[in-house]
Structure 1
């Protein structure tokens, strides 16, 4: 049983001890009633508590109030109040005051327990909704730091996109508790789905804000008696896409700080990203991207706003990133070590990325003629390249058929220039570019139809497929799962130099 107050004469405050039976402490805990007890050498129950009897004698305690800390019929603890020496003994007014104070203390303790329980649940939900391990990307290394704190709505993500590109995401839902963590999980799920559509960063955030607006409308339509009805929602997000072939990073942000960038020489790289409206704000302004070309080995730091608060916070982070010879995880730890204490209490998320490129030995690119014989030429080129990479015959045959269908589609319905690219990583990616912006669609051909099955065949042979559009046309791409890690074998077999 925990005792409040002085912990009893001669006892340290906050100690936990066993309550001897047939004492005022045990009786108060049993019947939940306060007691006013005179103390003296002849007090009979002190014989069952030798340590207490010795302390009473040494301190000269002569009056005791024992008040149980109770709430909803449960005992949370005891408050023991003593008067010693020449002081006046307690009276019934003192008992009433002690009971009132104990009642308030019980409510405060219960509220603290409830808050701690909800905080633990919210933090657990937050961790379960976030990536459980670093995801290996084709041309970028990443590491993250998640600081637990009051804010349980922070999130980060790295998402593999077609063409060896990587989406880097950090965001946060303002507020504390389980509801913030739930809203965070909803937004993270939506942004993962949007990323798979190969949209530009500003389009991803625009559609994410549409979803956020619907979530806000749902909350506003709750009954007035619901605690969430009048609770506002506020969130921000920054979304960047790194392309290792162009070495560019395209970034858009919604009510969130822009990333910080440090080049391989340790110098800060300026990046001015127009600030878009927050995800749950009434502002309907458009999102605008910023594009920066990066050298190989550049470092990007995507931070929640808490990490950038305080004097010269960006300079502090860029200095930490400029330290040579440090791994990404070590750099992230260095940034945390330098944070003000109040930042750590609030909670924050940090995502670090080091840019790279795709090895020339793992990429093959050809410019194709806009001719009827081009599909056959493409099949020969693909077979030769895949055999050079040491892929199995089943994969070669399937890829040959996929490329034939994609190139045929580009020749028939697209416009020049035509380009074919193969990328070998943990998966095999095929890309066919043409100058048309017309979007392809999967058809289900009838039995008597002589054509219209190209994309259907592609969808059956590939694990994933899609189309992404740009200012100079579109790219049809496919991904095939590979049984082993052929990229390592192909790289080791490539000629040196």
Structure 2
């Protein structure tokens, strides 16, 4: 048998319905009986042949048969529902179709087709109706044989490509639709043929021959066709176009992806790059984001300064770019000049998107010519473009450009609407980043001006400090550090933080830091400094609370709150190495001894400032020369929870044990080891390596409470100045010694000590056991006394009083660089 005959046989399997055929003569008498008729009605051929057709039907329908035969002779055929009667008397509902079977040159006869309605629900109506339903269905329908070759298809399948039904016969899917995932589809067919289980809802996404530049989506369902013995004859499948639904899902997925991926930071350029990354390759083959220069700086864009109208050129900065096939993203920004009259300029001026269906290769879109149009293969179609303004809150920030190459269909109106939605979401994120950049820059400027630009030079400690602001999502915090020179060659080391982030925290930090420096001038012990600071913070909070009730809301949320601020205050004396410190809700300092051992000061923890609680306590340690104090805010250890104190200290210990050539490098090494590049919280670290003043730079004497000792004290001080090579300061020093010792002898009790310290200044100190502080007076011309401290204040750089548990010290400093001061 040839191939053509085999195809005809295969087609007959699919063309012949599940019917019981029988032949009738002109009178309606059965002349030929078939096996299917015997199966349906139970009569053997010997009993059925010669029987009137009316005898095969129930009594009610038997009377209709003469009329039916008349209609057949008149109309050429008849079809309808009848109730046949089986040999055992049981009725059988059937669809009966009677049509002429007359052959030329032969006798007239009729062909009757009986279909049991219960067993053949698809053929209980006329073939013409079924052909109209299947052939005219908008759903593509096809049948293939066991070799997966087409044996039938309806006209609706043509819309998916591959030609009309007759051109598909005896062909495989790969021959009809080259480029389609024919292997995947035929794998589903083979699975259905092997198992008999249908496959429903198989989704196919690709490009069909009918639309080579357009990605389409189709839903396929496969069902096996069996013969009368239950063996597979082939596969029947349907195809439904799901392209619009698929595109709607893609659009929703793109917008969902944009919502999750755009705006994850408050960095302007990074946000612009995120927009380009989301758009490629799902929406476009190239995406660029160009922003106005002021926007990248965080400033408010001024359209009047950027352009004068539609006929001007506009210079923007490329903030984001992504091209299909790029291994990475473009880094940095560069200028992009949009020529006068270009769609980009019209978008900027008019604030409306611009769609270019196909770019003219002879006149390409100006900023994209060199990177896109010029790189197209010769003879290829120019790309399609969308230019959408990046607008937020009524202000144009820049433009976003999307291009598609020849493999994509041109942008349509739906794409334009999607691009507008996508860019508008990104524009809000860009504007938020711009506003945050402006606030962050302002806060950084404020904080840098409030933090010490240069730590004071002194001989007590070698010092290095590091500050790392929090990442952009958290915002700048209120951490600070300071070094304050005190009397007697001592220094105060301070590290602290205020709660909150942003410009308010920076302002609050400045207030607290200024208060600390002011209180440090009183030369009080650390615990008393914190007690005064605690009262001051409480008053600040009360004043802010009253202001919040009576004044309009502040422009920045939260306000400059200072309650809950933390601080550690350390005083180091280089003469004897004593170090006294107190803390208010702040981590205790770490100490690196000269041999590299790291210890932590057992410092009593006081409550945060303004929170109320028990009084502050101090701790005192004596540090060997060359020891390093490490004062830090809790951001250095990331967490700072009490339950993780041991773990945090171990991490800090390991970081401090690392060696470095200089103290500044060591400070940076500790920060890098413990703090991520974009920390969640601000970090301040102050490291101070202790020094000791040499014994020959300090001289002290015990003095009797006798006025005659004043002259001896002057002579002793002059001799020591001569040894130090400071004879030019002798006159002033003798005057200071005379006045201070005289006051101590006259008004104080207990022992009297005189001490000279040669550091960067010459310090004269007189100790006595009194507890009353002297006051500077302005005597009248007729007063006989009261001019001592006035003279001291006039001839020295500064002077003051420092109280000790056993008495007080009155001190005065003279500059060693300018003796006249």
Answer with 101-110 or 82-91: which moved more.
82-91
Among 384, 397, 403, the residue aligned to 2:731: 397
1:99 and 1:329 map into 2 onto residues whose CA distance is 51
Q: Which of 645, 650, 653 pairs up with 1:315?
A: 650
Question: Counterpart of 2:352?
Answer: 33
After TM superposition, the structure 1 = structure 2 runs for residues 123-162 of structure 1, keeping only pairs within 5 Å, are 123-149=444-470, 150-162=475-487
Structure 1 residue aligned with 2:539, among 214, 222, 228? 214
- Give the conservation status (yes or no) of the 8 Å contact 1:164–1:244: yes
The answer for the alignment partner of 1:275 in structure 2 is 605
Cα deviation for residue 94 of structure 1 reads: 4.3
CA contact (8 A) 2:760 2:815 kept: yes
- Paired position in structure 2 for 1:236: 566
Partner of 2:617: 288
Match of 1:302 among 631, 649, 652: 631
Which residue of 181, 199, 202 maps to 2:506?
181
Give matches, 1:458-469, under 5 Å.
458-469=792-803
Q: Which moved more, 1:439-448 or 1:258-267?
A: 439-448
CA deviations 1:105-145 (Å, max 9, x no partner) are 22211110111122122112222222222322232211111
What residue number does 1:335 align with? 670
Aligned counterpart in structure 2 of residue 377 of structure 1, from 712, 734, 753? 712
Contact 1:219–1:229 (Cα < 8 Å) also in 2: no
Count of residues in correspondence between the two structures: 481
Deviations 1:47-66 (A, max 9, x none): 98766556788987876443
Matches within 5 A, 1:13-28: 13=322, 17-19=336-338, 23-28=342-347
Conserved in 2, the CA contact under 8 Å of 1:299 and 1:321? no
Aligned counterparts, 1:457-496, within 5 A: 457-483=791-817
Say if 2:637 and 2:675, in contact at 8 Å, map to a contact too.
Answer: no
- Counterpart for residue 442 of structure 2: 121
Q: Is the 8 A contact 1:167 1:242 kept in 2?
A: yes
TM-score, with length taken from structure 2 = 0.54
CA displacement, residues 134-163 of structure 1 (integer Å, 9 cap, x when unaligned): 322232211111223343422111111111
More contact order relative to length (CA 8 Å, sep ≥ 6) = 1
Bigger mean CA deviation after superposition, 457-466 or 335-344: 335-344
Q: Deviations over 1:78-123 (max 9, x none)?
A: 2334566787765545434433332232221111011112212211
Q: Residues 69 and 77 of structure 1 are in contact (CA less than 8 Å); yes or no, is this contact kept in structure 2? A: yes
CA RMSD in angstroms comes to: 3.1
After TM superposition, the structure 1 stretch with the greater mean CA deviation from structure 2, 76-85 or 328-337, is 76-85
Structure 1 residue 471, shift from structure 2 partner: 1.0
> Is the 1:224–1:230 Cα contact (8 Å) retained in structure 2?
no
C-alpha separation in 2, matches of 1:294 and 1:481: 28
2:651 aligns to what SS in structure 1? helix
Are 2:577 and 1:247 aligned? yes
1:454 aligned to which of 783, 788, 791: 788
Aligned to 2:208: none
Q: Hey, what's the Cα distance between the residues in 2 that align with 1:458 and 1:269? A: 44
1:488 alignment counterpart? none
Match for 2:690 among 346, 355, 362? 355
Which of 703, 727, 736 matches 1:368? Answer: 703
Match for residue 109 of structure 1 among 414, 421, 430 = 430
Residues 176-223 of structure 1 deviation map (CA, whole Å, 9 limit, x = unaligned):
322222222222111111111111111111222222223223332233
After superposition, the Cα gap between the structure-2 partners of 1:327 and 1:230, relative to the gap in structure 1 and judged at 3 Å, is: closer
What CA distance in whole angstroms lies between the structure 2 residues aligned with 1:18 and 1:227? 37
Give me the whole-angstrom Cα distance separating, in 2, the residues matched to 1:438 and 1:53.
88
The 5 Å alignment of 1:1-16 reads 4=276, 5-6=279-280, 9=285, 13=322
Which among 757, 760, 763 is matched to residue 423 of structure 1?
Answer: 757
Q: 1:169 aligns with which of 469, 479, 494?
A: 494
Residues 477-496 of structure 1 show CA distances to partners (whole Å, capped at 9, x for unaligned) of 111112269xxxxxxxxxxx
Cα distance change, pair 468–102 in 1 and its aligned pair in 2 (3 A): same
CA distance in 2, matches of 1:462, 1:20: 70
Q: CA deviation at 1:375?
A: 1.0
More deviation in 355-364 or 340-349? 340-349
Distance 2:718 2:363 in 1: 96
CA distance in 1, matches of 2:430, 2:286: 25
- 1:490 corresponds to which residue? none
Equivalents in 2 of 1:83, 1:363: separation in Å? 82
CA, structure 1 residues 23+138, in 2 after alignment: closer, same or farther (shift >3 Å)? Answer: closer
Which whole-Å deviations, capped at 9, do the CAs of 1:338-371 have from their partners, x for residues lacking one? 1241664633111111112111111111011122
User: Separation in 2 of the partners of 1:62 and 1:270?
Assistant: 67
- TM-score, scaled relative to structure 1: 0.87
- Structure 2: how far apart are the matches of 1:368 and 1:341? 58
Structure 2 unaligned residues grouped into runs of 5+: 1-271, 288-320, 323-329
Distance, in Å, in 1 between the alignment partners of 2:530 and 2:364 is: 72
Partner of 1:492: none
Change (3 A) 1:446 1:22: closer
Going from structure 1 to structure 2, the CA distance change for 1:56 and 1:172 (only over 3 Å counts) comes to same
Corresponding position: 1:256 with 2:586: yes
1:68 counterpart = 2:398 = no
Local SS of the residue matching 1:104: helix
Question: SS where residue 452 of structure 1 aligns?
Answer: coil
C-alpha displacement at 1:462, in angstroms?
A: 1.6
Q: Tell which structure's C-alpha radius of gyration is larger.
A: 2
Query: 8 Å contact 2:476–2:682 — kept in the other structure?
Result: yes
Distance 1:444 1:81 in 2: 80
Mapped pair 1:225 → 2:530? no
CA contact (8 A) 2:655 2:674 kept: no
Deviation at 1:468, TM superposition (A): 0.9
Report the Cα distance in structure 2 between the residues aligned to 1:166 and 1:436, rounded to whole angstroms.
25
| Aligned with residue 408 of structure 1, among 742, 745, 761 | 742
| SS at 2:400 equivalent | strand
Change (3 A) 1:438 1:21: closer
Indicate if the aligned counterparts of 1:201 and 1:289 stay in contact, CA closer than 8 A.
yes
Stretch of structure 1 that moved more, 164-173 or 73-82: 73-82
Q: Which deviates further from its counterpart, 62-71 or 412-421?
A: 62-71
Question: What CA distance in whole angstroms lies between the structure 1 residues aligned with 2:660 and 2:400?
Answer: 57
